[in-house]
Amino acid sequence: MHLPQYRSTAHGISAACGKVGAIVGVYGFGHLSDTQGTQITLGMLSIFMFAGTICTYFVPETKGMTLEDLNDEPIGRAATPDVKAPVDAPVRT
């Protein structure tokens, strides 16, 4: 599993990309509407929305699954049967 600081950084980058995409969409729609016309711009928008729908259809459903189920791997040393933690091991100084 990834460390929390890496997961939170990736989440922040993802959120920032979504905000940049929203800004580009708003200003891009206005610019395209001014230069190409509203009908062509709405046609292009509908093509992109349809492509997004198709891409979303192929993403597997993860509702009710844990991260371990998604990765198909055990977590930690105790979960692996071939690794045994030492019991009362002497401490060397």
On whether residue 34 sits in a domain, the answer given is: yes
pLDDT for the residue 23: 95
Residue pLDDT, tens place only, 6-20: 888 888 999 999 999
| Interaxial angle between packed helices 38-57 and 4-36, expressed in degrees from 0 to 180 and rounded to the nearest 10 | 150
On whether residue 85 sits in a domain, the answer given is: no
On whether residue 74 sits in a domain, the answer given is: no
Residue stretches of the chain with pLDDT short of 70? 1-2, 70, 72-93
Sign (positive or negative) of CA dihedral 66, 70, 72, 76: negative
Count of domains for the chain: 1
Q: pTM of the entire structure?
A: 0.52
- Pull the structure tokens for residue 15: 């959120």
Residue 8: which domain range? 4-60
